[in-house]
Amino acid sequence: ALVNAAWDLQARRAGKPLWKLLVDLPPRELVAALDFSYVTDVMTPQDAVGLLEERAAGKSAREEDLLRDGFPAYTTSTGWLGYSDEKVRRLCRDAVAEGWTAFKMKVGPSLEENARRAALMREEIGPGRRLMLDANQCWDVPEAIRQVKALAGFDPYWIEEPTSPDDVLGHAAIAQAVAPVGVATGEVCQNRVVFKQLLQARALRFLQVDACRMAGVSEALVVILLAAKFGVPVCPHGGGVGLCEYVQHLSFFDAIALGVGDEGICEYVDHLHEHFLDPCVVRSARYLAPEAPGTSIAMKPESLERYEFPGGAAWRA
């Protein structure tokens, strides 16, 4: 929280949204603000500066493209566990009509139920759109392999958190066994060292960094640089209050400063944005670049007054 607040203050003083502050910082100045301890066997600060300088070619054009077109997003709001079939169908149809092309579905312990719900969602979104599966760590390694192989017929784009987030070698075994289905993880990865090992072990195909895990934005930037070196697309985790507001800045930095390919995509959950002064804006399944100075996560005073725990009015009542 303190690290992110410091970045927010620096961006406000500069009069820039966080992504723009990061993009405009000279590589040496940006890297000097980051901690590469314990990952220098893979990337030194000098390596990071070199990578940013190498990718600087075309940066202005990429920024123009992102300002015009936005950054691609996927929706998590259609396939939560506990939704009735009717609600899932309605949400999928509404999302397709809004232009969404990538959808995430939660899966659980029951293979039969997972297959039934995957068939329902695939029927609604059609064969040409992406379907991601999210297990939220509910399987052991052998069960993850069994389930993903059985669900492969529904053409899943990735399987997210198939097992314990701490199990680097388990993720590697799953990734090898279920390919070409990609493994995605990282939303609860505890530090840059575990991310380094996941990348070294080729244990993930999509890296899901979080702006509020680890040492906040600072450590997330180190992880994004590591992912760029390994050629792994960063698909930030946005499934929580304010996380979409936060992580959009990481995606815009990644796309502009490092020139990510077509596989980079950012999670979007369509609730609770009304509590923020500068909520993220998603149109036609793409995040629009934030314009207000800072990190976009300042909350409305009335929301804090009502919901701050434990003294807020909602809790006192």
Are the C-beta atoms of residues 285 and 252 closer than 8 Å to each other? no
Residue 104 among the catalytic residues: no
Strands (E), 62-129: 71-79, 102-106
Catalytic, 237? Answer: yes
Provide the angle, in degrees to the nearest 10, between the axes of the packed helices 216-230 and 45-55: 70
Cβ pair 145, 177 in contact under 8 A: yes
Beta-strand pair 182-185/130-134: unpaired
**Residue 126: count of CB within 10 angstroms of its CB:** 10
Query: Kindly report the CA angle at 148 between 144 and 150, in degrees rounded to 5?
Result: 120
Q: What whole-number distance in Å separates Cα of residue 240 and Cα of residue 231?
A: 27
Mode of pairing for the β-strands spanning 286-287 and 282-283: antiparallel
Of the candidates 305, 304, 296, 307, the one whose C-alpha atom is nearest the C-alpha of residue 4 is 296
Q: Which of 106, 171, 196, 249 is catalytic?
A: 106
On the 0-12 / 13-18 / 19+ scale of CB atoms within 10 A, 159 is buried
Strand partners, 285: none
Catalytic residue, from 20, 104, 196, 237: name it.
237
Q: What is the DSSP letter of 79?
A: E
Handedness of CA 223, 162, 286, 245 (dihedral sign): negative
What's the CA gap between 58 and 51, in Å, rounded? 14
Query: Distance (Å, rounded) from C-alpha 20 to C-alpha 253?
Result: 7
- Evaluate the omega torsion of the peptide bond into residue 45 and state whether it is cis, within 30 degrees of 0: no
Residues labelled catalytic: 106, 237
